[in-house]
């Protein structure tokens, strides 16, 4: 890692070494200060969230006594934004996240020689199925968290903000079709429904042979409350072709949302404003995945409260040039110290 022009640069800096360092440093600082908490404070650090998440799975299943808690605070989510000049815009508290499921869509065919094409072709059949998926509109949904999120964002928006206005209308009535369409064609689409998108293709075995197999990988980010069976059934409906096999990979689970707790929301907001007075704070449901999904599934309500601010060109997770504003990092250090002493 290097520090340059007001930023810490390095692989994993933002996702999530900054969060790990901030938590660890805060615990060390509190211990050195002789701080005695009113409740047990447990720090848990895992390192395989991007692969199979065995670390957190082991903790909540085989070593539950080490991490059993009333709730968990997750540094890997719940961040905020600033403009290109470094002015803070707002902060998020992540209270839910969509569930991650991947499916294989497969068409099989007897194949043949390319000099004698036929009407039945595995590639064409799969392509039609994917076009059906592209055109399919997943049902709009709302939960307690997205309702709060949209209401708050509508309140904070500038007059004339069409998307924010649609958020407010959608929060009042999910059957408002104009609002649904505006949100479906905006960056907020993932907050209103399950999404499934084709991400990889593989077909055929030779340039002069009709394909015997065509396969597409489809990744879904599933709205909390939908089961694996629900998503599979809806994906089959979207594909609209019984000749296409739809098979889920692995053994995904459908985790719940965390309950909306005013005490957690108020304390986190107070802690954020100890560093950024009057900064707007918005509860959200995230479309990405963290280990918080697994702690929620284990019955530990989890809230993403990382409190790092990112500018328009700062969020570079999984890239070679990840970066975190050094000013934002040290502000987050003050925030975590304040939060831990008030829990």
Same domain, 335 and 265: yes
Q: What is the structure's pLDDT at 227? A: 95
Has residue 43 been placed in a domain? yes
Read off the pLDDT of residues 163-183 as tens digits, 9 standing for 90 and up: 999 999 999 999 999 999 999
Each residue's pLDDT tens digit in the chain (343 positions)?
Answer: 899 999 999 999 999 999 999 999 999 999 999 999 999 999 999 988 888 889 999 999 999 999 999 999 999 999 999 999 999 999 999 999 999 999 999 999 999 999 999 999 999 999 999 999 999 999 999 999 999 999 999 999 999 999 999 999 999 999 999 999 999 999 999 999 999 999 999 999 999 999 999 999 999 999 999 999 999 999 999 999 999 999 999 999 888 999 999 999 999 999 999 999 999 999 999 988 899 999 999 999 999 999 999 999 998 888 889 999 999 999 999 999 999 999 9
Has residue 209 been placed in a domain? no
Has residue 239 been placed in a domain? no
Cα separations in angstroms, 314 against 79, 80, 151, 308, 319: 12, 11, 27, 11, 11
Has residue 246 been placed in a domain? no
Q: What is the structure's pLDDT at 18? A: 95
Which CATH number covers residue 23? 3.40.630.10
Domain that holds residue 171: 144-191
Same domain, 90 and 162: no
Has residue 110 been placed in a domain? no
Buried/exposed code over 151-166 (b: 16+ C-beta within 10 A; e: otherwise): bbbbeeeeeeeebbeb
Domain count across the chain: 2
Has residue 103 been placed in a domain? no
Same domain, 338 and 276: yes
Same domain, 155 and 91: no
Strand partners, 220: 101, 196
Instruction: With CA atoms as reference, report the closest residue to 187 among 218, 158, 164.
Output: 164
Same domain, 15 and 93: yes
Same domain, 83 and 166: no
């Amino acid at each position: 890692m290097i520090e340059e022009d007001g930023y810490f640069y390095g692989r994993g800096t933002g996702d999530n070494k900054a969060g790990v360092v901030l938590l660890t440093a805060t615990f060390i600082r509190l211990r050195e200060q002789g701080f005695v908490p009113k409740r047990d404070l447990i720090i848990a650090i895992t390192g395989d969230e991007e692969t199979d998440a065995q670390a957190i799975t082991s903790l909540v299943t085989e070593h539950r006594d080490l991490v059993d808690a009333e709730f968990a605070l997750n540094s890997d989510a719940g961040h905020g934004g600033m403009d290109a000049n470094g002015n803070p815009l707002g902060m998020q508290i992540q209270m839910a996240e969509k569930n991650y499921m991947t499916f294989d869509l497969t068409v099989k065919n007897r194949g043949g020689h390319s000099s004698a094409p036929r009407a039945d072709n595995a590639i064409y059949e799969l392509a039609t199925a994917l076009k059906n998926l592209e055109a399919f509109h997943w049902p709009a949904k709302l939960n307690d968290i997205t309702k709060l999120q949209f209401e708050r964002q509508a309140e904070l928006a500038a007059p004339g903000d069409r998307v924010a206005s649609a958020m407010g209308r959608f929060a009042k009535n999910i059957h408002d079709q104009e609002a649904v369409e505006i949100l479906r064609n905006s960056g907020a689409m993932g907050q209103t429904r399950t999404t499934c998108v084709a991400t990889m293709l593989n077909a055929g075995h030779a340039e002069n042979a009709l394909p015997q197999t065509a396969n597409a990988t489809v990744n879904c980010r599933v709205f909390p409350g939908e089961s694996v069976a629900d998503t599979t059934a809806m994906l089959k409906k979207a594909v609209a072709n019984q000749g296409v096999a739809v098979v889920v990979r692995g053994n995904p689970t459908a985790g719940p949302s965390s309950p909306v707790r005013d005490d957690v929301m108020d304390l986190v907001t107070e802690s954020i404003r100890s560093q950024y007075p009057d900064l707007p704070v918005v509860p959200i449901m995230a479309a990405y995945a963290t280990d918080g999904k697994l702690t929620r599934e284990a019955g530990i309500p989890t809230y993403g409260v990382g409190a790092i601010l990112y500018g328009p060109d700062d969020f570079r997770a999984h890239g070679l040039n990840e970066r975190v504003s050094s000013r934002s990092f040290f502000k987050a250090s003050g925030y975590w110290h304040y939060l831990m002493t008030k829990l």
